[in-house]
Copies of this chain bind each other. A is one copy, B any other.
């Protein structure tokens, strides 16, 4: 595969750049034609790489791309999952280059989706192309690329349920996560779940003059701040009633094993520019962001936010609030607990509404499984270092649902790095990781058997 990459590198980058140039932002309805264009291009890439068939499938939302090559029903089947939608790009002014005009700087591709997840998805198409063209493919391979991962995969679960026979597989192979470092390869053995909601506080039916009414009328921003502030206690624990009921405490041995991954707290703080860390009492930073649940406000807005000053009591205020969950916490249950809690703490002098955005359960992957072992061997060979098992803090909401529907475990072979700043301005993906990822994936197929 290494030689094949060297021989085809320029073509690979041309193809990937074409994919990255499409602004497939799933959360913005204005980009729905871009979504379709991106799906069409993926179909073309799959067919060119050697798929027997590949098609754009409509869903209730953005379309799904499905393609496959079945060489022998008796051989193991790998289902590759990826997503072609990307996060919004604001604040645009912080990008050093246009997010949809990919360019290479210092050995990395800079573009929205360079890593998440177009770049990582592309590795699978090219590893597949290599195996087909060199005649070494000894698995059935199916590809499922969705267009709604960044907005909660709301249409995919139904689509997967409706096409579960077509999607039948022995393992789901996914590259949508990070490694601990370029020299600290790791394999994700668990992800957090998610509940994402929006709280709206409504006060007066219009903005009021803050001089005439100030002091006598509840201010929706102040009330929302009170409510948000009460959601996390002084020990950094979420106060939603019942929130921790289903959280399984890890054994000291498990915590010790996960704690082996190298971690430099000063380097961590420096890399994201914070004066100090903060989180749940009694847990390390690594634990707080992987094996512990949490609550964050993702966005808040209310009143006058323009230049200068305006003396009003805002009519309303709203906040997007999400909770990361750990395996065994059910997203649907937490969402209900949150809604109930918010309505319980809503004071009588305002109107409060709660809306659901999306969610999904967390999951764990057994380190002793054949797939994990094959991935570990493949990565060891490419990186020269045995990968460590790691728990991811992010969520791929749909994977827990697919695991249940298809009866196959996901395997998270991610090649992203923290430095890639996915979801932020100047998202990037190292060329070295792109090519090592392709090589590792090809070797995974070499070593994987059920």
Contacts and interface: CB of A to CB of B under 8 A. Distances in A.
19 contacts: A204-B272, A206-B272, A206-B421, A206-B425, A211-B393, A212-B392, A212-B394, A212-B418, A216-B279, A217-B279, A221-B299, A222-B296, A224-B225, A298-B314, A300-B302, A300-B305, A303-B320, A309-B357, A312-B424
A212 B289 contact: yes
Given A90-B306, A425-B206, A311 B393 contact: no
A409 interface: no
B424 A274 contact: no
Interface in A386-445: 392-395, 418, 421-425
Contact of A196 (B94, B296, B309): B309
Contacts of A299: 221, 302-305, 310, 312, 314
Contact of A393 (B150, B214, B222, B294): B214
Given A94-B206, A304-B320, A305-B320, 20 more contacts: A88-B306, A88-B310, A196-B309, A206-B273, A206-B425, A210-B298, A211-B324, A215-B393, A216-B285, A216-B289, A217-B277, A221-B299, A229-B229, A298-B309, A299-B305, A299-B310, A300-B301, A300-B303, A300-B305, A303-B320
A296 B214 contact: yes
Copies in the complex: 2
A11 interface: no
Contacts of A10: none
Interface string A195-228: 0101000011111111111111111011011101
B88 A276 contact: no
Interface stretch (A65-73, A254-262, A344-352, A367-375): A344-352
Q: Which of A214, A272, A303 has the most CB of B within 10 A?
A: A214
Contacts of A348: 275-276
A178 interface: yes
A267 interface: no
A30 to B, nearest CB: 10
Contact of A272 (B152, B198, B217, B425): B217
Contacts of A36: none
Interface of A: 27-29, 87-88, 90, 94, 150-152, 178, 192, 194, 196, 198, 203-219, 221-222, 224-226, 228-230, 232, 236, 272-280, 285-286, 288-289, 292-294, 296-314, 317-320, 322, 324, 347-351, 357-358, 392-395, 418, 421-425
A232 B221 CA distance: 13
A304 B88 contact: yes
B212 A393 contact: yes
A293 B27 contact: no
B297 A322 contact: no
Contacts of A394: 209, 211-212, 311
A407 to B, nearest CB: 26
Nearest to A213: B289
Contacts of A229: 222, 225-226, 228-230
Nearest to A307: B27
A439 to B, nearest CB: 25
Contact of A296 (B219, B292, B301, B392): B219
Contact of A212 (B178, B208, B221): B178
A310 B395 contact: no
A206 B274 contact: no
A273 B214 contact: no
A298 B324 contact: no
A322 B317 contact: no
